[in-house]
Amino acid sequence: MKNTIMEQASKLKEEIIAWRRDFHQNPELSFEEHRTAEKVALHLKSLGLDVQTGVGRTGVVGILYGKEPGPTIALRADMDALPIHDQKQTGYKSTIPGKMHACGHDAHTSILMGAAQFLSQVKRPERGNVKFIFQPAEENGGGAEVMIQDGVLQNPKVDAIAGLHVFPGVPTGSITAVKGVGCAAADFIRIKVIGRGGHAAHPHTAVDSVTVTAQVITALQHIASRQVDPLDSVVITIGTIQGGSANNIIAPEVELTGTVRTLNPALREQMPEKIEKVIKGVTEAMGATYEFLYDKGYPSIINDDQMVELVLQTADAVLGAGKQSLVKPSMGGEDFSYYTHVVPGAFFRLGVGNTEKNTTYPLHHPMFDVDEDALPLGVAMLSAIALNYLSQK
């Protein structure tokens, strides 16, 4: 299995790289993936697949029917880029100022196009179907949820799903996976601390929102360190602080935004109350008031153990022994989670890190790049996962 699938997938390498560079040069933000979706749809149609466009606004779906009826496995790629200015000096860097594929979704899209080609032209499943999901708006807007609402997991009904994310922290040639909870629920908070303005020299005549805010920020970390079971993970990060207009004026109010990450769904439910209690107590004690918004973002990915086993076995066969490992969950967020709440799924990381090629910058970094040698490995992995699933089920 290893040699044939890897060898055959490697033959598609030049084509996959060309697609990836084209997408990389023409990045499109969440729900604006019109050009990308058009290229994908054209490719899927050229393979003779049953193609639907405009699913979840800018999403594309291709269905490959096997020789005999059977179960349906979905493979998913996301297509959107980020509002980051590309600082690489490669011939294929972004041509659009302020937009960049800094999360590797160009690679995901190209890999899935390659898998569609592989499974329809090189090794067609004996039985069952493969649904290729090209999803918009992973970075901003929850495209997965919108596609599910548009029926992407129906007609034919999807029985299982797999997806990958390129990862610079894993060397090219390897993959990692997580059993159970794969990543954090990623929620958004906005806090306004409201004091009373005044002269900086006479603080007793005002309520200083800056010093109150300092106390609030410190006290919030007590939730993580003192109120939550140390074996349950939680991150509360305040990412922005805005307040004040001059050095000699007491700021009437300060606004903070941040993110709350949890792995345990029960703990997630408790977080709004825990956070508000701290804000309320601290502001009240200092004579200030507050406004508080807690907005739920993507839930956690819940990987299915059997699907993860299938990914690991496939990696042993396709990539060779010792190229896969089980790792701890990530506190990052990823909207693949929505699929895993509906059907059994597995999301794994495809290594693209190569120090010689300078592809070890983190995701979302303006110098981010992928080792393109990993692209055919991604094609081989996704194709083999689909074939293995359909033959075993």
Closest CA to 306 of 115, 109, 73, 120: 73
Nearer residue to Zn ion within complex by CB, 103 or 377: 103
Please tell me the distance from the alpha carbon of residue 166 to that of residue 143, in angstroms, as a whole number: 19
Nearer residue to Zn ion within complex by CB, 183 or 191: 183
Minimal distance in Å, beta carbon 20 to Zn ion? Answer: 15
Residue 35, token pair as written in the block: 């050009």
Minimal distance in Å, beta carbon 334 to Zn ion? Answer: 7
Residues catalogued as catalytic: 80, 138
Give burial (CB, 10 Å; 0-12/13-18/19+) of 255: middle
Nearer residue to Zn ion within complex by CB, 166 or 181: 166
Minimal distance in Å, beta carbon 374 to Zn ion? Answer: 15
Integer CA distances (angstroms), 29 to 21, 38, 80, 92, 336, in order: 16, 15, 5, 18, 18
Residue number of the CB atom closest to Zn ion: 103
Q: Give 113-151 as a DSSP string.
A: HHHHHIIIII---SEEEEEEEEE--SSSS-HHHHHHHTT
Residue 62, token pair as written in the block: 């291709």
Minimal distance in Å, beta carbon 102 to Zn ion? Answer: 7
Minimal distance in Å, beta carbon 363 to Zn ion? Answer: 6
Residue with tokens 């993860």: 308
Nearer residue to Zn ion within complex by CB, 103 or 133: 103
Binding residues vs Zn ion (CB under 5 A): 103
Nearer residue to Zn ion within complex by CB, 140 or 270: 140
Instruction: Name 243's bridge partners.
Output: 254
Residue 58, token pair as written in the block: 């800018």
Please tell me the distance from the alpha carbon of residue 233 to that of residue 12, in angstroms, as a whole number: 42
Residue 310, token pair as written in the block: 């299938």
Q: 375: Cβ–Cβ under 8 A, 6 or more apart, which residues?
A: 13, 16, 17, 20, 107, 110, 111, 114
CA torsion angle for 378, 61, 160, 65 (degrees, to 10)?
Answer: -90
